[in-house]
Amino acid sequence: MAEDADVIVVGAGLAGLVATYELARAGRRVLVVDQENEANLGAQAFWSLGGLFLVDSPEQRRMGIRDSAELALADWFASAGFDRERADHWPRQWARAYVHFAAGEKRRYLHDLGLRLTPTVGWAERGAGTATGHGNSVPRFHLTWGTGPEVVRVFREPVLGAAERGLVEFRHRHRVDELVIEQGTVVGVRGTVLAPCTQPRGVASTRETAGEFELRAQAVVLTTGGIGGNHELVRKNWPTDRLGPAPESMTTGVPAHVDGRMLEIAGAAGASVVNSDRMWHYTEGIRNWDPVWPDHAIRIIPGPSSLWLDATGRRLPAPLFPGHDTLATMRHILHTGYDYSWFVLTRAIVEKEFALSGSEQNPDLTGKDLKLVLSRVRKGAPAPIQAFLDQGADFVVRSNLRELVEGMNAIAPGPTIEYEQVEREILARDRETGNGYSKDLQLMAVNNARAYWPDRITRVAKPHRLLDPAHGPLIAVRLHLLTRKTLGGLETDLESRVIRPDGTPFPGLYAAGEVAGFGGGGVHGYNALEGTFLGGCIFSGRAAGRALDRQLS
């Protein structure tokens, strides 16, 4: 049977677009196969905030940040905690290669494609409180001017241009059910044609079938994402020994099509799937008052000041503060026996410190509206935050603490919170705000954050008593666990070739993006440093496209 293309790319998300861009730029014929319609081109990346992990960038240097590849590598390996001889063999190598990419060619590569960055650098995942532990030693979170849609655009447009020239063809609504293997080599894909649909981006689509297909090429690249939209698979792979029992209730931070199907299909065909128990979910999920996909939740990207309470009203221990150590916080919350927690804060804190993840929740940055961006420094909550304050089911706004606790109990799915318990926690915290120094480690972290001048001006509220009415009203936010990223996946070498269980490359099969653990089957190890997911899709998709071009020459 004749080949339908030089390469088949399964999955039209960011990693798939990057691989296709590199292949088409080299003159290769590419067939892009995806189970969703054309509205979903770019997949999860479109919904992202567009954060990019860069090291020793011009933006950092202008902020007075001293960073280096050596410091970033130390942070990465301390956070990753690689401890598996076989399963971490390639992830270790991918980690070194990716950090050097982030410290070198990455910014120029994206800049040449037309991507621009905002001037300030965010300090995400600030860590576990030790120099040798998890976390970013310095701010490295670079926001794209245009957020996720812009990251998608700079690859989508040249790919669509290649399609007009006949180098790229899309087969939307084609669900791959099987890899075609002949004499041990992957030579194509076989699957089901799904009924046409016109749903908008992200909306769950019908699985009604309309036929079958088989396509062939010299190689197949899998770029189909992870398992975050499939709660059954999340629970199946949940690391109970490390994080505690899988939560009974979870919200979803990715569209329903992020279903993990190709991981199981490739594994059954003979590919090595490693580190499936490593995953990255968030503890600060709030139910979207205007949902797009089932159980749609938005993550609060918090500043460091909110008081974090468990379901019983007890303060989380140091250093489990907002924005510091995601998985350690999740582990603590689950070991309380409940799967939700609370932020307690003031209007002054919410106005300055609350940001929402997602391109649609940041219309100023997404729309490149400088006037609207500058309005963030004015008094008052940004419009997307105000919408949640007004309509979000997880928000309680009251003028005094007793009424606040009553409101929390009205929506709490678990135990009744005792007013005296919450009052005790808040009064103890408020006593520490009288001086510019403190024994309270969270307030020390707030002062540390304010020493970074962009945080002081735009991101971190001046310390104040939560019970001071001048900063009110009081606000409580019920926080859910939110599924997001798969950190393990198909094992790949540095050319994105999929590895078999015996350690040899699987002829004809490549993988990139989240389905490959963003490189190697788990480049992040146990923890992510944030801003690394889009970059991992770009780096591994680029590696796959360039390696295939060399092989096909």
Query: What is the DSSP code string of 466-523?
Result: TT-GGG--EEEEEEEEEEEEE--EE-B-TT-EEEPTTSSEEEEEEE-GGGBTTTTT-T
Asked if residue 403 lies in contact with residue 422, where contact means CB atoms within 8 angstroms, the answer is no
Sort 551 into a burial class: Cβ within 10 Å, 0-12 / 13-18 / 19+: middle
Compute the distance between CA of residue 519 and CA of residue 223 in angstroms, rounded to an integer. 11
What does the pLDDT read at residue 169? 98
Count other Cβ atoms within 10 Å, centred on residue 112. 9
* Local confidence pLDDT in tens for the 553 residues of the chain: 578 999 999 999 999 999 999 999 999 999 999 999 999 999 999 999 999 999 999 999 999 999 999 999 999 999 999 999 999 999 999 999 999 999 999 999 999 999 999 999 999 999 999 999 999 999 999 999 999 999 999 999 999 999 999 999 999 999 999 999 999 999 999 999 999 999 999 999 999 999 999 999 999 999 999 999 999 999 999 999 999 999 989 999 999 999 999 999 999 999 999 999 999 999 999 999 999 999 999 999 999 999 999 999 999 999 999 999 999 999 999 999 999 999 999 999 999 999 999 999 999 999 999 888 877 777 888 899 999 999 999 999 999 999 999 999 999 999 999 999 999 999 999 999 988 899 999 999 999 999 999 999 989 999 999 999 999 999 999 999 999 999 999 999 999 999 999 999 999 999 999 999 999 999 999 999 999 999 999 999 999 999 999 999 7
Compute the distance between CA of residue 337 and CA of residue 135 in angstroms, rounded to an integer. 26
Compute the distance between CA of residue 469 and CA of residue 102 in angstroms, rounded to an integer. 45
Asked if residue 242 lies in contact with residue 226, where contact means CB atoms within 8 angstroms, the answer is no
Structural tokens at position 98 = 């990716």
Q: Hey, what's the torsion of the CAs at 225, 210, 199, 294, to 10 degrees?
A: -50
What does the pLDDT read at residue 484? 95
What does the pLDDT read at residue 553? 74
Asked if residue 9 lies in contact with residue 33, where contact means CB atoms within 8 angstroms, the answer is yes
Compute the distance between CA of residue 287 and CA of residue 202 in angstroms, rounded to an integer. 16
What does the pLDDT read at residue 396? 98
